[in-house]
Structure 1
Amino acid sequence: MKNYLHALKPPPRTQRQRLTPDQARNNAGGFTFKVSDEGRFLRFLILGATEGTYYATEAAHTVQATDFVRGYVARNGPAALRLILEVTRGHRAPRPDATLMALALVARTADLETRRSAWAALPEVARTGTMLLHFLAYQDALGGWGRLTRRGVARVYEDLPLGTLALWAVKYRSRDGWAQADALRLAHPRSTEPVRHAVFRHMLGQPSSERPPVGQLLPELESPAPALRLIEGHQRAMSVTTDVDAAALMREYGLPIEAVSTGVRGADVYRAALETNGLTWLLRNLGNLSRLGLLAAQHPEIVSAVVTRLSNASALRRGRVHPLDVLKAQLVYAQGRGVRGSHVWTPAPAVIDALEQAFYLAFGLVKPSGGRFLLALDVSGSMDIGTVGGVPGLSPRLATAAMGLVTARSEVHTTPVAFTSGVGGMGGQWGGTSGLTPLNISPRQRLDDVVKAMRALPMGGTDCALPMLWAAKEKIPVDTFVVYTDNETWAGKVHPSVALAEYRQRMGTPARLVVVGMTATAFSVADPADSGMLDVVGFDAAAPNLIGAFARGEV
C-alpha cells in the first residue's frame, strides 16, 4: 500500500533533486531552471561577466559567458542585435563594455545582412570616442580590418557632427592602446568638408610644418568654425603653465578638463570643470573636488551647485546617468578614499545625501502597482563574492539591498525578509540551516544602514521556497513575491515553484513570483513555463518599472 501511495503522491523533491527534465544543476549543486538563451544574453549585456561568483571563479565565469555569447550571436545574429539596441536605447546597462563586445561579435561573425546592420548601428552604440576605441579593441582581437570594418568606422567619422568630432579630438585622444589617429589611418574616411578635414589633420597629429598654426587651421574660411575654435582652445591650453591660466581658457573656449595638461589641473581647473564637464565626470571626481577643498564649508556656493546638479532628475536623464554610476560614486565618495592610489578626502554630508537621492532619481518615475509585496533578500555568503557591473565594492549583497530599497520606496505595502540561518552558524554549500528573518528596515533609511543591518544577520543556505512557505503558514496575503538572489541556490526540501503553487492553492490567490538575478549566470529559480513567474536582470535600469508592470498584470 505504501508503494501505491508514493506512486499517487510522491514525496516532494528537494532542491538537490531534479524536479522537471528541463532543470539543470547550477554551480552550487542545486537544480534550477535554465534561463532562455535570450534571457541569458540580456543578463550578459546588462551585468557583464568579468567577475566571479562564490561557486565559479572569475576566469571560469568569464569564459562560460563569452563562449555562450559567441554561440548565441552565431545562431541568432538579428535577435542579438535587436537586444543590443534595446539595452542601448533604454540606457539599461550600467557599463557599455558588454554591449560593445557583443556588437563586435555581431559585426564580425553574423550573416552578411546582419553584419551590415551592426555597422550601421555602431554610432548609436558607441556614442563617445572612448566607446568607439573600446569597440575597435574588441574588433582587433577578433581579426583584421576588412572592407566592412573600414567602411563602418569611416562612416562614424564622416557622419559625426563637427562639434562632436572636435570634442573627440581633444577629449578622447586614446584608450585601450588605440588612438583616434590609428582609427583614421586604417579607416580612411572621406569628406568634402574643409572643417572636417582640418579636424582630421589635428587628430592625425601631423607635424606643424604640414598644418596651419594655432588660430589659422583654415585661414581661407571667412569666420572661424566653432569646431576649430575648440581645437584652438585646446592647443593654447596645452601650452600654459598655471591652473589659473588653464581655467581661464576652459571658460573662454568651453573646454573639458581632458583638454588641459595634467600638470596644471589644480583647484582652479577643477572649479572650471564644474561648468564645462558633464554629470558623469562630476560623479567620478567628487573625491578630487573634496581633496582640493572645493566641497568644504569655505565654499558653500560650490557645494550647493553640486547638490543641485545631482538632484536634477531631468539632468540625470539627459546625461544618461545609470543608477549604478550613482551608487558607485556614493560608495567611493562616502568612504573618503579612492579605490586606487593614496588620495583621501573628507566627504561633505550634503553631497552624500544628494547622491542617495540621485540613485533613486536615476531610475526615472517608478509607477507603483498598489499590490502587496514580500521582498526576500539573499544575504548568504555567496552574495558577498564578486561584484555587480564590475564596480569595486559593489557585492551582490549590497546591490540587493539597493534594488530592494527601490521597490520598497515605490510600493507602500511591502514586507521585507532575509534568507538567514534558522539556528545560527554559517551557511553555504557545506552547512547551515535555512531560515527567514524579518528585516526591520524603512524605505527612508540610508543604504549603508540597511547593508549594515543585513551584514549582522546569521548567514544560512538560501532556500528560495521559504517566502511562499512562510507566508502560507502565517496566512500572510501576498500578491507578488520578489526574490533577490544570485540563483546559486541549493537548500530546501521543496522547489520554489512547488511552494508558489501550494501558496496559491491555500490562499486562493494568483500570487506571482519575480526572481531578480544579481549575477550573469545561466540559472533561475523561476519556472519559464509558469506565466506567473518572471525572471528579471538585477540592476537593469528598467527593472523597477518592469516589476511593477508584472505585478499589475500588464506583463
Structure 2
Amino acid sequence: MEPSACTQSYPSNHTSNAAGEHCHWEVSDNVRLRRFLCYGSEGDVYTASEEAHLGVAQAGALLSMLQEGRGIEAVNEIKRFAQDERAVRPDPSIFALALCSQHAEKELKEDMKCGIWGRALRKAVSDWYNGQDALSLAAVVTRCKQREGWSHKDVLRLSHTKPADEALALISKYVAKGWKEVHVAYADKENTEEVVKVLLYLEVVEKVKHSCDETEVINLIEEHKLEREQLLTDHLKSKLVWRALLKEMPLQSVLWMLGKMTARKILQPGASETQALCERMQTEAALKKAKLHPFSILLASEHYKRGQGYQGKTKWAADGSILKALDIAFYKSFSNIEPVGKSFVVAVDVSTSLSSVVPGTALSTAVAAAVITMVFARTEADTRVLAYSEGALQLCSVSADMSLAQTTDELIKIPGGSTDCTLPIAWATENGKAVDVFIILTNNPLWTFTASPVETLKKHRQTSGRHSKLVMCGLTSIGHTMPDTGDRGLLSICGFDLGAFCIIRNLAQDLI
C-alpha cells in the first residue's frame, strides 16, 4: 500500500552506513516534538490511561527548536499533527502552541504578541469558531458551557474573535450577553434564514431550561435533538426524558452509560427503547459515524458484563440482547480501521499466566492480547502472529473469520516457560521475513533473554534492509519496560488503552 499524502509530508531520520546496513536511528527534535504532541512526553515510554504532566521540562525539543530560530517550523509541525488527528489527547498541542506564543523569536514574536494569547493562538481560536456551521456552534456553546475553568465567553473575549457572518455574531452575543439581550436585539430586525434558525434553536434551549413540564421537555428533545448537557438536573430524574435522549445520544456516550441506564430501568429487557438501541449499535453506518474502535466496544462490553461500576455502588443485571448487540458491533467495527500498509509481527508472551487484568479495565491480559492481535490480523494484510516463551515459539493461525474466543485459545495453546522477548525477532531474521513493526505483548516487565532485544533488532534491520521498529508492551506494567537506548525505532507501552493503537500507528508510519 502506498503511504498517504499526510504520511509522506513528514521527514524521516533514517541513517545507513556505506554498506547499506541500517544503523542507529536518530531521535531528532522533530521526532521528540511529535512524541510530545502525541502523548505528552518526549521519551520512549507511553503509560496507558495516565494523563501526562505538561510543563516546560517535558517540551525540551520544542524549546530547542525555538532557540535555534525554527519557530515557524515548530508551529507548522504542531498544526499538521493536529489536523491529521495523530494525537492521543489534544492538551499537548494546545500547550505547545501556548509555549510558542510566549517565545521571543523575532519572526514568531511578530505573529504572537500579548503573552499566551498571542496572534497565532488568537487566530487559531478565531478560525475554529468562524469555521463552524452556525447551528452546530449553537449546539456546542449551549451543550458545553465550560471546561477546565475556561468558558466560551472567556475564550471569545481573549481571542478577540470577529464573527465571519451575522449568524456567528448572534452566537457570540448570546455567549457574552445572554438570551435576553439577544432576543431584544434581533426581535425587530429583518433576519437572514440562517439567523432565524439559530434564534429558534437558542429560544428552544432557553425554553427547556425553564420548563417543569415533562411532556414539553420530551417534545423539545425529540423535535430539536437536544442533548443531556442542555437539560436541568431535575429533568434527568425522569425515565421518559432519558428515553427521549437515548434516541439521538451519540453511541460513544451510550456505551459508557449502559450500566447506569440499565440500573435506572431506562433500558429494560424487551422494551422498545432497548430493541431500538440494539438495532442502532449493530448498524454499520452508525458505527462508522461514531468512529467506534473494536477495542472501545470490547472495553464497554466487559464493563457492562461486570454488572457494577468501578466506583460507587451502582449495580445492574446485564441485558442479554444488549450484550449480543455489543458482540455484533465489536466485529463490525473492524471495518472502521484504516490499514497502515506495513508488515507486522504480533508476538504474545505465554510464559506466565494470561489471567491477570490490564490496569484500568475489566479485560484479562489474554483477551487484551487477543483483541490487539485481531486488530492487526484483520486490517493489515501482512501480519504474522506468534506465541512464544523461552525456547518455544509457534506461528499462530489467526484468520479474519475467527472469533475473539477462538483467537484467545489459539494464542495460549503452547506451554509456557521463562520470557525471552528476542525470540520473535530472531525467528523473523532466521526465516527471511522482512518486518516493519514487531509488537511484543507480555505480562512480565522483567525478561530473561539470550541476547539484547536492541542488538537482535539491529541484526534484523541489517539482514532485512528494513528500518524495523519494536514496540515492547507490558500489559500489566506500570513502569518503564525497556532501557532508553536513544533509538527512534523502539517504544515501550505500559498497560494498554485505545491511545496505544494510535501510538503504534504513528510509529509504523515513521512519525514518532
| Same fold, TM-score > 0.5, yes or no | yes
Deviation, structure 1 residue 406:
1.3
Matched, 1:237 2:177: no
Q: Is the 8 A contact 1:91 1:322 kept in 2?
A: no
Report the Cα distance in structure 2 between the residues aligned to 1:459 and 1:446, rounded to whole angstroms.
24
Per the TM alignment, residue 65 of structure 1 is displaced from its structure 2 partner at its CA by: 7.4
- 2:189 alignment partner in structure 1: 220
Aligned to 2:150: 178
Shift of 1:341: 3.5
What CA distance in whole angstroms lies between the structure 1 residues aligned with 2:103 and 2:358?
Answer: 30
Q: Deviations over 1:61-116 (max 9, x none)?
A: 86797244543553554444444444433333343233333333334448465688
Deviations 1:191-241 (A, max 9, x none): 485544432332235484x4537xx95342356611122211111111223
Q: Which 5+ residue runs of structure 1 have no aligned equivalent?
A: 1-31, 120-138, 423-434, 551-555
**Aligned to 2:470, what secondary structure does the other structure show?**
strand
Query: Please, which of 475, 480, 483 is the counterpart of residue 435 of structure 2?
Result: 480
Corresponding residue SS for 2:183: coil
Kept in 2, the 8 Å contact 1:92–1:541? The answer is yes
- Deviation of 1:298 after TM superposition, in Å, equals 1.4
TM-score, normalization by structure 2: 0.69
Match of 2:373 in 1: 404
The match for 2:21 is: none
SS at match of 1:416: strand
Partner of 1:273: 245
Please state if 1:450 is matched with 2:408.
Answer: yes
- Structure 2: which 5+ residue stretches go unaligned? 1-23, 494-498
One-letter code of the match for 2:435?
T
| 1:376 alignment counterpart | 347
Cα distance per residue 1:479-530 (max 9 Å; x no partner): 437432599877534334543576699xx866774423659989777966xx
Give the Å deviation of 1:170. 0.9
Match of 1:98 among 79, 92, 95: 92
Matched with 1:12 is none
Partners of 1:299 and 1:351 lie apart in 2 by 15
Residue 469 of structure 1 aligns with which residue? 426
Moved more, 171-180 or 59-68: 59-68
- Give 1:173 deviation, angstroms: 0.5
Instruction: Identify if the C-alpha distance between structure 1 residues 103 and 329 changes in structure 2 by more than 3 Å, giving closer, same or farther.
Output: farther
CA drift of 1:546 comes to 8.3
Whichever residue aligns with residue 374 of structure 2, its letter is L
| 1:171 to partner: Cα distance | 0.8
- Kindly indicate whether the alpha-carbon contact (under 8 Å) linking 2:387 and 2:396 is maintained by their aligned counterparts in 1: no
**AA at the equivalent of 2:30:** E
SS of residue matched to 1:41: helix
Q: Say whether residues 1:336 and 2:310 are aligned partners.
A: no
Compute the displacement of 1:403 (Å).
Answer: 3.0
Which one is further off, 513-522 or 355-364?
513-522
Q: Which residue of 1 aligns with 2:18?
A: none
Residue 350 (structure 1) aligned with residue 324 (structure 2)? yes
Q: Partners in 2 of 1:395 and 1:82 — Cα distance?
A: 41
Q: Considering only aligned residues, what root-mean-square deviation do their CA atoms show, in Å?
A: 5.2
Q: Is 1:257 paired with 2:238?
A: no
**Which residue identity does 1:255 align to in structure 2?**
L
TM-aligned CA deviation for residue 166 of structure 1: 1.0
Shift, 1:535, TM fit: 7.2
User: 1:328 offset after TM fit, Å?
Assistant: 4.7
Is the contact between residue 73 and residue 106 of structure 1 (CA under 8 Å) also seen in structure 2? no
How far residue 408 of structure 1 moved from its aligned partner, in angstroms, is: 2.0
Query: In structure 2, do the counterparts of structure 1 residues 88 and 194 end up closer, same or farther at CA, with 3 Å as the change threshold?
Result: closer
Could you tell me how far apart the structure 1 residues matched to 2:56 and 2:412 are? 31
Q: Give 1:117 deviation, angstroms.
A: 8.1
Identity, % of aligned pairs?
Answer: 24
Are the structure 2 counterparts of residues 252 and 90 from structure 1 closer, same or farther at C-alpha, using a change threshold of 3 Å? Answer: same
The residue type paired with residue 186 of structure 1 is L
* Deviating more after overlay: 59-68 vs 37-46: 59-68
Contact kept? 1:375, 1:415, Cα under 8 Å: yes
Q: Structure 1: which amino acid aligns with 2:408?
A: V
Q: 1:198 aligns with which of 165, 170, 174?
A: 170
Cα distance change, pair 367–452 in 1 and its aligned pair in 2 (3 A): closer
Partner of 1:22: none
Q: How many Å apart are 1:285 and its aligned residue? A: 3.0
In structure 1, distance between residues paired with 2:301 and 2:219: 30
Which string of whole-angstrom CA distances, capped at 9 and with x for unpartnered residues, describes residues 371-404 of structure 1?
7x642236799x98997xxx76689997665433
Whether the 8 Å CA contact 2:101–2:116 is kept in 1: the answer is no
1:448 Cα offset (Å): 11
Q: Label 1:277 to 1:377 Cα distance change in 2 as closer, same or farther (>3 A).
A: same
Count residues with an aligned counterpart: 463
Task: Report if aligned partners of 2:145, 2:152 keep a CA contact under 8 Å in 1.
Answer: yes
Tell me by how many angstroms 1:144 deviates: 5.2
Q: Aligned partners of 2:302, 2:110: CA distance in 1, in Å?
A: 41
Counterpart among 447, 452, 458 of residue 495 in structure 1: 452
Equivalent-residue separation in structure 1 for 2:218 and 2:370 (angstroms):
41
* Cα distance between partner residues in 1 of 2:446 and 2:208: 56
- After superposition, the Cα gap between the structure-2 partners of 1:457 and 1:236, relative to the gap in structure 1 and judged at 3 Å, is farther
Deviation at 1:455, TM superposition (A): 13
Partner in structure 1 of residue 336 of structure 2: 362
Contact 1:77–1:114 (CA<8 Å) still a contact in 2?
A: yes
Closer, same or farther: CA 43–144 of 1 in aligned 2, 3 Å: closer
Partner Cα distance (2:105, 2:363) in 1: 38
1:196–1:470 Cα change, 3 Å = closer
Aligned mates of 2:106, 2:296 — CA distance in 1: 36
1:445 counterpart letter in structure 2: S
Q: Is the Cα contact below 8 Å between 1:515 and 1:526 reproduced in 2?
A: no
SS of residue matched to 1:212: helix
Task: Pick closer, same or farther for the CA change 1:65–1:540 going to 2, 3 Å.
Answer: farther
